A and B are shown apart, each in its own frame.
With several copies, the nearest count.
Chain A
Amino acid sequence: MNSATEIRTMLCDAATRLFADHVDQKMLAAAKHDGWSAALWKELEQAELPLVGVPEDAGGAGGSLSDAAAVLRISARHAAPVPLAETALAGWLLASVGLKVPRGPLTIGPVLDEKLTAVKDGTVWRVSGKLTRVPFARIAKQLVLLADSAQGLMVVNIDTTEKHAECRITPGRNLGYEPRDEVVLDNVAALAAAPAAAGITRASLQARGALLRAVQIGGALEQALHLSCEYAKQRVQFGRKIAQFQAIQQELARCGGEVAAAVAAALSAAGMVERLTNDHRADAVQQTLMAAAAAKIRAADAAREAVAIAHQVHGAIGVTDEYALHHVTLRALAWREEFGNEAYWSMTLGRAMLAAGADAYWTALSAA
């Protein structure tokens, strides 16, 4: 035990308690329509959980990316309807250019292959462009965006609480009922703007987004596995608990392997990305890519298998809107696609490994 580990443990205990106390079926049902739970967010803010991983001098609570990942994993176990991952990403972007990270839910963009432009207009920067599938845009207090400008890539933030006509948000959602909105910006004045720091690119935003989604998938699948085991232990068919059927045991074991792999990949990747975060050498960039890609690929693969098994074990009850399972399974399935699905990342990683060549393959894989 070192002190960082102790702090992590305390953080996890606190988060587990908070989510267990506040997230229930009623909240999740309501969030399907409202898009989130403002009440839960308030609780999280009181506990400073949304700012974990953001440096204290940027207004955050300190701690590492892995600390943030630890909290995110727990939130995903509960299918917590709040933009924790998005706020962490926004905080990272803001802090990277020395901007203060405000309280309140934040989000980021672009998440797809879309471009924004930022133009300097006197002392303000004005941002234009169209973004789709922006997570929680209609809920976020600020959008933290990467935009192209004459000076190169900029980090800009936009206040969405005062509803300017130039910022139109059209609600949408993912398969897990989370807001994924269309945002059209027409010369919107940014609150602040700064040239993107070294290592901050659309690609690095996507990689970090993929990593956090992998963490979330890991947490969601842990819950799906847990519910499946509990169900198998109480459900009786043909006169026996279904957990006693070897076929069910073998499937649950396979599910367990998938879940363990997803969690191991995501948490390992978080640690590695953090260690290499300020290292811009080619090797470090390759390691970072490998970590983020591996996490997302493995978690997405695990989602396919584990969700299928969880639903198979549950049978019909598992697909009803009254039962808890779908909150985590539908989210896990939706998260697979976001910030690049496993095919996208496999091709990206594969291209890089093939380009490096056979003789560099094992060196790269065994570097850390």
Chain B
Amino acid sequence: MFFENIDFSSLELPPAALKLRDEVRAFLRQEIAAGSFVPHLGHAEFDSAFTKKVAARGWIGLTWPKQYGGQERSYLERFVMTEEMLAVAAPCAAHWFGDRQTGPSLLRYGSDYLKDKYLPAITRGEMAFALGMSEPGSGSDLASVRTRAEPVDGGWRVTGQKVWTSWAHKADAFFVLCRTAPLTEDRHAGLSQLIVEIKNSSGVTVRPIRFMNGNHHFNEVFLDNVFVPDDHVVGEVGQGWKQITSELALERSGPERFMTTFPLLVELVRRLAKSDDARAQEMVGRLTARLWTLRRMSLAIALALDPSSGKQGSVDLATEAALVKDMGTFYEREIIDAARVLVTVEPTMDAADTFERYLAECIVSAPVSTIRGGTTQVLRTLIARRLLGSLK
């Protein structure tokens, strides 16, 4: 019914991935010991210096072709890299979108020009990308975007407004989903993806949307008649919908879907270590079992997506990815609930104690997790479609 043709019993990380894990772990241990970053939960931090160090080790674009600065390593290695970074809440925002979304999109749909221009810059940690998908009122319904690109000589003039654009105030460029043709019956037609260089284009204004705790990571981005040359269209004009939906599906199942509150679990274990509270034992056991399971499912998808698995393209795991994301979101909350209930504290954002601070950060940012990457409702509708087939 789900995971057809996936052999869970033989799911193992190859030696190369285990070796990489040791390297990444050693690197992170060293960075933490040196105090190069203070982990914060809830929203990945933007830290160009950290990104440069990661890039220097060849760890951005890990699966990409060598000609673009990649390492041609497996998806399982990328999986390991991702989970190691998440396990310590490393500040990856400056390369996250480039590594996870921009890069793969360009490799799949981008022209040689775009690949040459951007991929090496991303792998060197020199260019940070952001995503311009949501608009005021669009929410889960991305097909309703109203940002317009009008054809002009040599390119397009783009006008509109994007919202919830994480780190647009620090990013160098962003992918803009927009209408390149008027709205017709087929709402999904006439959408395209363009690359707008935020810092180098005139007509781009970035304004903060403050999070409810005052933090600034979201932005509104206003595009006022911004010129985008033809060669900055990603893939074919009018094929934007197809491009983003395939990206969305693939990006739903990674460890980032169930590990953003993981460091809180580790601190919880630290707090509870000496407790003989039966509740603590049961809860830690349960949380471990659920995480273990989510991780196996996520790993299975990563493995099947890997070109070397021989399964890429032969299995469609978009629904399974949605399952992992849906369950992962709830799992992240279970950690928060367990922590609250097992350790009686009044958590605060400025607590000196790491556990208490993590707990506060997780509580305050929890509402975001059901928004990011598709709401519960949308994910479940997708899953139900697989189960029930067409109902007409």
Contact = CB atoms under 8 A, between A and B. Distances in A.
Given A238-B141, A304-B337, A347-B285, A271 B10 contact: yes
B273 A354 contact: yes
A253 B384 contact: yes
A175 B366 CA distance: 13
Interface residues of B, number: 97
A349 B285 contact: yes
Nearest to A173: B348
B137 interface: yes
Contacts, number: 283
Contacts of A250: 377, 380-381, 384
B391 A337 contact: no
A336 B363 CA distance: 12
B26 interface: no
Contact of B281 (A175, A257, A319, A351): A351
A338 B367 contact: no
Contact of A253 (B139, B284, B381): B381
Given A253-B326, A316-B139, A350 B212 contact: no
A362 B266 contact: yes
A315 B140 CA distance: 9
B341 A342 contact: yes
Nearest to B292: A294
A167 to B, nearest CB: 22
B390 to A, nearest CB: 10
Contacts of B368: 316, 319
Given A172-B350, A175-B360, 5 more contacts: A4-B10, A237-B141, A243-B388, A260-B320, A319-B367
21 contacts: A233-B388, A241-B391, A253-B379, A260-B1, A260-B2, A260-B320, A261-B293, A265-B289, A271-B9, A291-B292, A297-B290, A304-B337, A316-B163, A316-B371, A321-B214, A322-B210, A333-B363, A342-B286, A343-B344, A346-B289, A350-B285
Closest A-B pairs by Cβ, 6 of them: A271-B9, A350-B285, A346-B285, A311-B367, A358-B270, A66-B9
Interface of A: 1, 4-5, 8, 32, 64, 66, 69, 133, 172-175, 180, 222, 225-226, 229, 232-233, 235-238, 241, 243-250, 252-254, 256-257, 259-261, 263-265, 267-268, 270-271, 274-275, 290-291, 293-294, 297-298, 301, 304, 307-308, 311-312, 315-316, 318-322, 326, 329-330, 333-334, 336-338, 340-351, 353-355, 357-358, 361-362, 365-366, 368
